[in-house]
Amino acid sequence: MSEQDNINYNRIAEAIDYIKQHFKEQPSLDEVAEQVHLSPFHFQRLFTEWAGTSPKKFLQYTSVEHAKSLLSEKQATLFETAFETGLSGTSRLHDLFITIEGMTPAEYKNGGKNLAINYSFAESPFGNLIVASTSKGICYMAFYDHEPLALEALRNKFPNATFNRKLDLIQQHALFIFQNDWNKLPEIKLHLKGTDFQLKIWETLLKIPMGQLATYGTIAKKIGNPSASRAVGAAIGSNPVAFLIPCHRIIQSTGTIGGYMWGNTRKTAIIGWESAKTLPSG
């Protein structure tokens, strides 16, 4: 790292620390830039380059994480949460949650209340799966080694939902993909909740053809934010639907496989399996 890179790194680290300590004051771009002795324009560009997101987004992420802890752990009211997060009112809290979490504060606090979820366990070429669906589509799919832990992870994802162990038609259509029944692909529906950024990343992953690979940097460029590789990585790491949203098709720019929440060995096997399926016969 050059001397200038070291200076820039320290400035951004100082800015991040300042935002974390003063987020309740909702500091402006100018105020944070002044703390690290940069012009607002230069600071905006430098922060985005090093942190993978804008100062405003980072402030929003920090604020919403604090608000989430108040709503879930302390069971604070929406008004109390808005006040304790430094927001001017519940309407700003609402807008913040819609932007970052893809749901309202009340929906987050309810943890999936009134949501009916069917789930089942299945086998795949790459190990056991738990798959869950609402009336709208697949909301969760994950590889697992221990069934009780798999169910616990699902319940933690939707703590107040009603669960019914049932293999429904939505799940069956999704599982057909492992039987090479590609005709069922148009019938696979997804019911996802996430931030606008996460949904954009997941949608981009769906466009990677089977048997092909992409890098984090490639995805960042496709969404028009080439410096956001780290933020892209975080969104990919939060993918709630294994295999159907093909985060396994993302590798590092060096060509190495990279991480996978369900194990690198499984990721390698999936990539090899897909490559074999798309090779010309003979």
Averaged over 162-176, what is the pLDDT? Answer: 93
Write the pLDDT tens digit of every residue in 10-42.
888 899 999 999 999 999 999 999 999 999 999
- Residue type for 193, please? K
Domain 116-187 is in which class? Answer: alpha beta
d(Cα 26, Cα 17) in Å, to the nearest integer? Answer: 14
Q: Which DSSP string do the residues of 120-150 spell out, in sequence order?
A: EEEEETTEEEEEEE-SSSEEEEEEES-HHHH
Per-residue pLDDT at 282:
47
What amino acid positions are annotated as catalytic residues? 247
Read off the pTM: 0.64
d(Cα 21, Cα 61) in Å, to the nearest integer? Answer: 13
Q: Phi and psi at residue 88, in whole multiples of 5°?
A: -75, -15
Per-residue pLDDT at 146:
95
> Could you check whether 3-110 and 196-278 share the same CATH topology?
yes
**Token pair 């909740």 in the structure block, residue:** 193
In CATH, what number does 196-278 get?
1.10.10.10
How many Cβ atoms are within 10 Å of 282's Cβ, its own excluded?
3
Mean pLDDT (the chain) is 86
Beta-sheet pairing, 116-124 with 162-165: parallel
Write the pLDDT tens digit of every residue in 81-118.
888 898 888 888 877 777 766 667 777 776 666 789 99
Q: Which of 15-19, 20-24, 166-170, 188-192 has the lowest mean pLDDT?
A: 188-192
In CATH, what number does 3-110 get?
1.10.10.60
Per-residue pLDDT at 213:
93
Write the pLDDT tens digit of every residue in 113-165.
678 999 999 999 999 999 999 888 899 999 999 999 999 999 988 888 899 99
Domain boundaries, the chain: 3-110, 116-187, 196-278
Residue 279 tokens read as: 């090779």
